[in-house]
Structure 1
């Protein structure tokens, strides 16, 4: 099965021109199929029959919703009066992009009334966009030559953003324990989050995790450890007991999350430490589960876990991290966390190491931890800010992970990030916008992708 975004193409026209131009509906439907074919490789496109009136349009979008598509690409096949789709946009559940395109990119002296009619989508787009604005519907717009590479690129970006936004509406975030006491930027009203963005919080008893760990067979544990020996450099100091417990934590977490239908989760070290049934924290488990596509955040931070999952759906890789300290001579920020990080962002010229690592947090035994440095190159930071009243803001910073010498004493995933706006400008903007300390990093320059995501999800976008 393809992992491309799945979108529906809603082509809008009207019967007014049938007598003047017999066969116009079939002709313009073929044009819609050409548009869909041109998007091969960036999205899977389902083309609905031409919407020639309100019933056609509403039936087409119901079909897109029933098929579980990620978004709706609206294309004007001719002019179509907006009142026929006004109620549809008032109740639209999927993200929308209006493709302001036409069959021919150039007007020539051979054009007559027929060519004018076939290519008159621009004033239909104006009428339709006006209806979307009046309905309060957030939507993207792509004005482009449909045959230009930029059209594929821009629609592809929107389609990925639509997939991420739609995925959040279906997301369940499992929380083991409770949020870190006193940590305010991670707190969110769960009903508000569900109503506004869609993620549902599932509180999971830690005893269920413990029982699931104990029920695992020795063969299942051995199979996971054998796979990790082929993937990671294993520290010789790790005992059989430590490796066994690490494997049971990872397998147990995934089994419990699958049982509850959760694609993201968060744990808090104090909650596990005070429980009394766990020997160590699941540090390496978080890293490998992120690499498998799960969202994750520490300390019970549900919005951050949801955003890491959105990062997976938007760009292919979401990495959980935070800003540890500023380096003014380098104009950079040390990015790390207590031990959790998606090993898919690791440098490709160094092995990822599973190490024995002392950690005096949580009051437990040493947690096996995956140690790596982040691949140098372009990267983007994003933080989901809860504003209250159902409003959310995304703070985004583009920059570069520097190619720096190792820090031998640092035993957790890390990298030096230089913001394009510099440490001073980035941090002034980040703090003024209320950016949180738990952050999603995505490889590459993905600010434009995050901006499209914000439009699709109804979130305020704030670059810094």
Structure 2
């Protein structure tokens, strides 16, 4: 994953430099300590001298813009009058993430009162955020002690959300086979995708895909099969001709992705057949592409493919998902799809198997099946209501599964929401959520709402 560049803005007050210059060395050391900590968590940090008055803030922000930072992370070193910084932050297009922390952990009656000078930035944060809110600037806040909480990890996740929103703009989304006929909840026109999200929809014709298929060489097929033998399990034999046809289809899609410089793509499985220029449905390439940071969603869903690509490239542990069945007994939901998942989210090594059914006259498709790995995640759904685009986010737990032998030929996962399944499903449909969704591991709903706000979507937490 490429490092995300941030401007790290230390807010201070000139009064203290004029009256108590001895405070600065310890505070500067803490700022550097926080910059190092963010770098160790995968960010590229642009450091800045302490900013106290408006011209210093404007200079810092201009530097961040010039260096193509993704966002600005602020750290109040002390109280800082908000009118000194507000205009520079309100006028820049760079998103803002507020790191709300102080150097000292305990501040009870036994603390040295001199520590007040080094630990009172939080009311500066309140002053600052009030002006951001009044000015209509989207921002995120991560609060907690830097050493005794996960505030630094949460800060990084907020930065990733900002980077994901930025990645949506300019996305190139490929569509092969159009949308599944009659499936209306996620459909979006090329014009709407361009005007609303700044993304370009690129459709592939059957003739174009036929040329990509013809261009795949036997040597390329053999090399891909050899690579598969190293990274997947094969519990049962697969006929050589079928495997080669599936691999040719996958490589044709890959050539299309590379030729068109796609950031995401979607395939209508009903058109993945020889009549439309491809041997069969390229399930394996959909999965492999997601592990490379290319977004994917099924059935011609360009919207969720675009969003999946942006989130996978920034959070990495994210995938296109679909709720299939309720487990009323154990109060959880079964996630699945025909054969697509981001293998980075798999629990163990995927197993390559033939599908048990086919909906076209193509060669029988094969897929790499696995269970979603256990852990906390956010279930996210982007949909449209009568006012425009919205995002729902819900904290969920993907469950540890050990007895899923019955499902070894199925993409599978069991998701437990924080509220009863009956209420979760009711709320989803009351909002108008679509049937295609996204799963983002190691994130929080508030970070997805920040992502939504940067794309001018309304956000809701279930």
Q: Same fold by TM-score, threshold 0.5 exceeded?
A: yes
> Where does the alignment leave 5 or more consecutive residues of structure 2 unmatched?
none
Query: Could you say what the CA RMSD is over the residues aligned between the two structures, in angstroms?
Result: 3.3
Aligned partner of residue 32 in structure 1, secondary structure = helix
Deviation of 1:305 (Å): 1.3
**What residue is the counterpart of 2:419 in the other structure?**
421
**8 Å CA contact retained: 1:376, 1:402:** yes
| Structure 1 pair 103–209 and aligned structure 2 pair: CA distance change class (3 A) | same
Cα offsets for 1:279-317 (capped at 9, x unmatched)? 211112212222222211011112221332344245432
**What residue is the counterpart of 1:240 in the other structure?**
240
Which segment drifts farther, 19-28 or 175-184? 19-28
CA distance, structure 1, for counterparts of residue 120 and residue 372 of structure 2: 50
**What residue is the counterpart of 1:82 in the other structure?**
82
**8 Å CA contact retained: 1:394, 1:459:** no
Aligned pair count reads 459
**8 Å CA contact retained: 1:341, 1:413:** yes
Which segment drifts farther, 294-303 or 445-454? 445-454
Aligned partner of residue 233 in structure 1, secondary structure = coil
CA distance, structure 2, for counterparts of residue 219 and residue 278 of structure 1: 18
Deviation of 1:203 (Å): 3.1
**What residue is the counterpart of 1:12 in the other structure?**
11
Cα offsets for 1:179-228 (capped at 9, x unmatched)? 22221211235555555555443334443333233223322221111010
Which segment drifts farther, 364-373 or 270-279? 270-279
CA distance, structure 1, for counterparts of residue 67 and residue 342 of structure 2: 32
**8 Å CA contact retained: 2:210, 2:276:** no
Q: What is the TM-score with the length of structure 2 in the denominator?
A: 0.86
Aligned partner of residue 279 in structure 1, secondary structure = coil
Deviation of 1:338 (Å): 1.8
1:346 paired to 2:346: yes
**8 Å CA contact retained: 1:397, 1:426:** no
Which segment drifts farther, 403-412 or 384-393? 403-412
1:67 paired to 2:80: no
Deviation of 1:370 (Å): 1.7
Aligned partner of residue 461 in structure 1, secondary structure = strand
Cα offsets for 1:107-127 (capped at 9, x unmatched)? 888657xx7666553443233
CA distance, structure 1, for counterparts of residue 31 and residue 159 of structure 2: 17
Q: Which one of 393, 396, 403 corresponds to residue 394 of structure 2?
A: 396
**8 Å CA contact retained: 1:192, 1:390:** no
**What residue is the counterpart of 1:439 in the other structure?**
437
> Where does the alignment leave 5 or more consecutive residues of structure 1 unmatched?
none
Deviation of 1:390 (Å): 4.9
Q: What does 1:271-282 align with in structure 2 at a 5 Å threshold?
A: 271-273=271-273, 275-282=275-282
**What residue is the counterpart of 1:169 in the other structure?**
169
Q: What does 1:186-335 align with in structure 2 at a 5 Å threshold?
A: 186-188=186-188, 190=190, 192-194=192-194, 197-234=197-234, 238-273=238-273, 275-313=275-313, 315-335=315-335
**8 Å CA contact retained: 2:388, 2:457:** no
**8 Å CA contact retained: 2:378, 2:393:** no
Deviation of 1:452 (Å): 4.7
Which segment drifts farther, 17-26 or 278-287? 17-26
Aligned partner of residue 73 in structure 1, secondary structure = strand
**What residue is the counterpart of 1:372 in the other structure?**
370
Aligned partner of residue 136 in structure 1, secondary structure = coil
CA distance, structure 2, for counterparts of residue 222 and residue 434 of structure 1: 46
CA distance, structure 2, for counterparts of residue 188 and residue 425 of structure 1: 29
**8 Å CA contact retained: 2:246, 2:279:** no
| Structure 1 pair 150–369 and aligned structure 2 pair: CA distance change class (3 A) | closer
**What residue is the counterpart of 2:40 in the other structure?**
41
**8 Å CA contact retained: 1:5, 1:42:** no
CA distance, structure 2, for counterparts of residue 322 and residue 86 of structure 1: 42
| Structure 1 pair 55–210 and aligned structure 2 pair: CA distance change class (3 A) | farther
